Amino acid sequence: YEGPKDVYIQNMVSLEEEKIGMTAYSDDGKIRAFTSDDGGKTWDEKAIDLPKEEGKETIVNISTFLSNGNIFVSYYHMEPMKEEPATLEENSVEGESTEAGVSDEVFYKDDYFENIEYKYAVVDGDGKINDIEIDLSTYINEDDMNYGYSMMEQVKSTLDGDLLFSLGNKVVQLD
């Protein structure tokens, strides 16, 4: 079967017999939810409108349907990436242009990802976004932080609606 056009599939799950839930990015970078009641022959689409922050991009790193048909989303806000000139180092970005000329300041990509605050939400069938608090630091220790295990990786829903996610080499279950 053909999937929805002009999207990049992030996650797909079986919700019931013949019913499929899928999350995907559209060409404009926004997250979309799709459902199919006929095993993937046809798709219904819903936009997911996550909260915005002035002057920042909203980045979704995880989205998946839960067994009850709601959608779990992990996202964050960040400054827009600057264009990289081909002549600079691979991990650097040229300084801002000013009327007096180009600044000598060089920004590194890693600087963009410092102090990111991950946000978590469940989106219900009506599109209402319900923020949820998840403190990942309670599941990891300082050694885990050194290996970059500070964000969720795989997220799944159990049949009774609990949330399972991996965090490094740990599996965490939330009710």
**Residue 115 CA to its chain's centroid (Å):** 16
Position 72 scores a pLDDT of 92
Position 100 scores a pLDDT of 47
Query: Cα separations (Å) of 131 from 66, 76, 92, 98, 134?
Result: 15, 12, 34, 40, 10
According to DSSP, residue 42 is labeled: S
For residues 130 and 121, is the Cβ–Cβ distance under 8 A? yes
pTM: 0.74
Q: With a cut of 50, say whether residue 84 has pLDDT above it.
A: yes
Percent of the chain scored above 90 by pLDDT?
Answer: 23
Comparing CA positions, the residue from 167, 143, 144, 135 lying closest to residue 154 is 167
Position 115 scores a pLDDT of 64
Query: Cα separations (Å) of 156 from 92, 93, 164?
Result: 36, 36, 5
Q: Higher model confidence: residue 81 or residue 69?
A: 69
Position 97 scores a pLDDT of 47
